[in-house]
Amino acid sequence: MRNLWFSAVAVVVAALVFAAARLIGNPYVYFAGYVVLQYVVLATAWNILGGYTGYVNFGTAAFFALGAYATVVLHKIAPATPLPAMMLVGGVLSALTGLGMGYLTLRLRGTFFSIATLAMAVVVQTLVTNWNFVGGSRGAYIIRPSHAPLFSGDYTQYLFLVMLGLCVVAIGIARAIEKSRLGFGFAAIRDDEHAAEASGVPTLRLKLIATALSGGLMGMAGAPLPYYVTYLDPASGFNLSYAVNTIAMPLIGGTSTWAGPLIGAVLLGTLQQVATVTISSALSLLIVGVLLVIFVIAAPRGIVGWFRR
């Protein structure tokens, strides 16, 4: 019942955001807003595994790019596929990858999983770079429709709306998990895996669920990317900044609740959009890195922690 209420409120908030964007009417709002929303999804997805279960995933870029490249492939072989369907394909692909990775490494200490995800990002990039069908290292061009389907407006507006919808879904999932049996199981694993197992928690299965869910949402967030950038090459699809941002945002916002990644992503995402325009993109990334280090040292509970006991 409470979940239903929350969903209703989330949908209303999302509708208000979209209405506000339409009211402002500046195309840059959609363009910059899309990136912020994409980070809300990525940070929320990362937090399901990292914040709730305590397993650090450094391979965001790989899951994200898998989703993006799934769209590139679909665009080539079945260009008529609607975007939400492409997102579903990208999500499933990333979820399965997460499951496979997890199955091989999640039986070990969490550190090994983290190292494996870091290495995986390099390998998936190697594979894509060597795969000529999706453009290899040269990259691929995607021609996007000029108008949004379903309503009148630019296609960027449609991408913005789709990402807004995915935000609602991702945050809804994260919040539903938090107060559920699954969420308590995740938290038990994070606190003490050995004790969790001894309390009846099927730790391996739960970790696999978290990895698949988290990876799947990252893949879905990546799927619309080719239409947003219209030109996708491995260097941009696998950019390290995705991994850093998705770790920095939850840790800065606070990892214990769904609100943390949301706050972190909106603050940091907006800051970067402003800094990229006013200063430079490299410097704005440096700011994120420095903020991450400062927060993990000085504010281990994140911004959310300031408002709670």
Partner 1 sequence: MDLSFDLLGNAIVSGLLLGGFYAAVTIGVSISFGMLDVVNIAHPAFIVLGSYIAYMANAQLGIDPILASIVVMPAFYLLGVVIYHIYDVSFERRGDASIRGLAFFFGILFISEVALVLIFGVDYRLVSAPYIGPSLHLGVVELPLRLLVPCLVALLMTALLQVYMSRTFIGRAIQAVAQDPLALRLMAADPTRIKRIAFGLSIATASVAGAILIVIQPVEPSIARDYIGRIFAICVMGGLGSFSGTVVAAMTLGIVESLTSTFYGPSWSPAVAFGFLLVTLAVRPAGLFGRI
Partner 2 sequence: MTEPLLQVKGLGKRFGGFVALSEVDLTVNNGERVGLIGPNGSGKSTFVNCLCGSLRNDQGDVTFAGHRMNGLSAHQRIRRGIARSFQLPRPFGTMTLAENVLIPILYAAESKHHIGSTRARGRCLDLLQMVGLHAKADAKPAELTQIEMRKLELARALASEPRLLIADEAMAGLTHREVDDILALLMTLNSQGVTIIMIEHIMRAVLSFSQRLVVLVAGRKIADGAPEDVIRQPDVVAAYLGS
**Site residues (vs partner 1, CB under 8 A):** 50, 54, 56, 58, 104-105, 107-112, 114-116, 118-123, 126-127, 129-130, 194, 240, 243-244, 247-248, 251, 255, 282-283, 285-286, 289-290, 292-293, 296-297, 300
Please select the residue that binds partner 2; options are 11, 96, 184, 267, rule is CB under 8 A.
Answer: 184
Query: What is the rounded distance in angstroms from the CA atom of residue 55 to the CA atom of residue 68?
Result: 24
Please select the residue that binds partner 2; options are 185, 219, 253, 254, rule is CB under 8 A.
Answer: 185
Cβ distance to partner 2 smaller for residue 199 or 280:
199
Cβ distance to partner 2 smaller for residue 5 or 77:
5
Query: What is the rounded distance in angstroms from the CA atom of residue 75 to the CA atom of residue 67?
Result: 12
**Does 195 interact with partner 2 (rule: CB under 8 A)?**
yes
Q: How many residues of this chain interact with partner 2, rule: CB under 8 A?
A: 19
In the complex, the smallest distance separating the C-beta of residue 67 from partner 1, rounded to whole angstroms, is 20
**Does 198 interact with partner 2 (rule: CB under 8 A)?**
yes
Query: What is the rounded distance in angstroms from the CA atom of residue 77 to the CA atom of residue 139?
Result: 17
End-to-end alpha carbon distance in the chain: 27
Which residue blocks in 78-109 are alpha helix, DSSP H? 83-105
In the complex, the smallest distance separating the C-beta of residue 168 from partner 1, rounded to whole angstroms, is 27
Query: What is the rounded distance in angstroms from the CA atom of residue 30 to the CA atom of residue 250?
Result: 23
In the complex, the smallest distance separating the C-beta of residue 225 from partner 1, rounded to whole angstroms, is 20
Kindly identify the residues of this chain, within the stretch 237-256, that bind partner 2 according to CB under 8 A: 256
Cβ distance to partner 1 smaller for residue 139 or 172:
139
| Residue 52: both structure tokens together | 């709730």
Compute the half-sphere exposure of residue 103: CA atoms within 13 Å on the CB side of its CA. 7
Cβ distance to partner 2 smaller for residue 18 or 184:
184
Binding window for partner 2 (CB under 8 A); candidates: 116-124, 127-135, 186-194, 272-280? 186-194
Cβ distance to partner 2 smaller for residue 57 or 256:
256
Q: Please answer whether residues 60 and 246 qualify as being in contact, where contact means their C-beta atoms are separated by less than 8 angstroms.
A: yes
Residue count of the chain: 309
Q: Please answer whether residues 175 and 258 qualify as being in contact, where contact means their C-beta atoms are separated by less than 8 angstroms.
A: yes
At which residue do the structure tokens 């879905």 appear? 220
Per DSSP, the residues of 17-53 read: HHHHHHHH--HHHHHHHHHHHHHHHHHHHHHHHHTTT
Q: Which positions lie near partner 2, rule CB under 8 A? A: 181, 184-185, 187-188, 190-192, 194-203, 256
